[in-house]
Every structure is written in structure tokens, then in C-alpha cells.
Amino acid sequence: MRVAFLTAPEGVEQVELERPWQAVKDEGWEPRLVSTGRGPVQAFHHLDKGDTFSVDELVAESSAEDFDALVLPGGVANPDALRMDEKAVAFTRHFFGLARPVAAICHGPWTLVEADVVRGRTLTSWPSLATDIRNAGGTWVDEEVKVCHDAPGTLVTSRKPADLDAFCAALVQEFRR
């Protein structure tokens, strides 16, 4: 199984990239860092710079059809940049058109809002996104992890780094289906 991790060149929350990445690797699957820019990707520990990560593929040169699942890590700047990139938004939307599983944590659902794929779905996120999700036609819940099967495909969402154990467990379970 090939799993795309979509990030902008800067601003991804490091732990929200590394922990799901490791969960995917632990299953024997192939994680791939897909970015809107040529690497390296600069990760952050909240507001402080963290490590850098090499980009495997550019979103402009990739297709959702080449992957079995998508992970959208958070960090405030990362999804804010992704939702302004038409190719990243289209890439994300395409996963839903293919009914392939998607997982997003923290501010990651901002990209889902921009891709217009939350309508009719129930999801969670960092609390400041609740109004955006409702305005986009979704139902926001304050839960550690929410798995939604309300439309084609599966959506796994979580609120914050403290939810990563539940997020990774649900992501693995749903990606196995």
C-alpha cells in the first residue's frame, strides 16, 4: 500500500507527520512525502523549527490514482498553504472521487474544507476549525478521533497531537479495509 503524506514546504507539525508515518511503515506500507514544493520540508514543534524532511514527489507531478490512501498532517501554516494551492486541493479532492481513505489531524481539515469534501460528513479537528467545517456543510464533533463513512470513502480525523495514539490506530484500521 502506498500512502501519500501531503505537506507544504514549511509549517507541518513534526509529530503529526512522524507518528502516522511510522504507523504506516510499521504496517509494511510505503509512506511517500508529497509536497507543493521541492524539498526539503521544514517541520515545526508548534512555533519552533524542527527537522527537515526530503520530498519524494511533487503534487503537481502526482496523481491520487498512484496512492491507496492520503494523510493530511496539521500545523497551522501547512494546511493554510495547501488550501491556497490548486493542485494540492485537486489532489485531495481526487481521493474522495476515488473513494480512497483519507486521514487528517489538527488543522489538516482546512484542506478538506477547501476541497469541498466535508459536506454531509462528521469530523473533528482543532477546535478553531469548527465554524469552517460547519460552514462547509460538515458536522463538527469534539472527539479524540472520528471515523466517518457517511459518503464514498472513509475519513479519519483527530483534534491534536495528544490524540495521535487514537488517530494512528484508527488510520491503520481504516486503511486496511
**How crowded is residue 121: how many other Cβ atoms within 10 Å of its Cβ?**
22
Let me know if 107 is a catalytic residue. yes
- Distance (Å, whole) CA 176 – CA 28: 11
Catalytic choice (45, 94, 107, 149): 107
Q: Mention every residue, 6+ apart, whose C-beta is less than 8 A from residue 149.
A: none
Site of grid cell 484542506 = 111
Under 8 Å between Cβ of 69 and 102: yes
Catalytic choice (45, 46, 94, 106): 106
- Which amino acid, 45? H
Which positions are annotated as active-site residues? 106-107
